[in-house]
Amino acid sequence: MPKLKPFTLKQLTLTAMAAAVAVVAEVFEVPFPPPFAFLKLNLADVPAILAAMTVSPLSGFLVVVLRCLIHMFRTTTIFVGETVNIVIGFGMVYGFCFVKYKRKGGERHYALAAVAGTVCTILFGYAANICFFPMYAAMFSMNIGSFTDYLINTITAMNAVRGAITFAFTALLIPAVKPLKRMLS
């Protein structure tokens, strides 16, 4: 990973713009069918990955945190969902950036970095849900059956779909952000 340096005004502005786009993207969510309607799929991670690609990994992490903090004002999960989203978003950005910046191959290694980001999304999501979901289920008296089956069949599958969709949309937007990368150089 690259050495962290202070943000320039351009980098800070791009990070703030990416966070704003992520907040708007999070409004357009698709819920899963009952009994898992509290799980929602959206494209709010795309701006975080783009910020990590164009500015720095720290920028991607900041976009995830800012998006989740702003979303806390309109949540129904008593902040549990946003906390888990921060952990999952960190996993996605970390996995992607670890491979992308380690390989230094530009867009050639995008597919490998996307797979690493998706795998980290699944692993971080699994760990976060082991920690937080039993408390959430108890607060709302949810009957989910076997917790292990729920984690493996629902959360893992949902995070795999989330990663695949996020990185597919990000791949479509790479040509649009290349000028931003050149502008920052």
CATH at 104: 1.10.1760.20
Tell me the three-class secondary structure of the chain, residue by residue: CCCCCCCCHHHHHHHHHHHHHHHHHHHCCEECCCCCCCCEECCCCHHHHHHHHHCCHHHHHHHHHHHHHHHHHHCCCCCHHHHHHHHHHHHHHHHHHHHHHHHCCHHHHHHHHHHHHHHHHHHHHHHHHHHHHHHHHHHCCCCCCCHHHHHHHHHHHHHHHHHHHHHHHHHHHHHHHHHHHHHHC
Domain span at 58: 9-30+43-180
Query: How many domains does the structure of the chain reveal?
Result: 1
Q: Please state whether the predicted TM-score (pTM) of the whole model is above 0.75.
A: yes
User: pLDDT tens digits for 121-178?
Assistant: 999 998 998 888 777 777 777 766 666 677 777 888 889 999 999 999 999 998 888 8
User: pLDDT tens digits for 18-31?
Assistant: 999 999 999 898 88
- Whether 56 maps to a domain, the answer reads yes
- Whether 66 maps to a domain, the answer reads yes
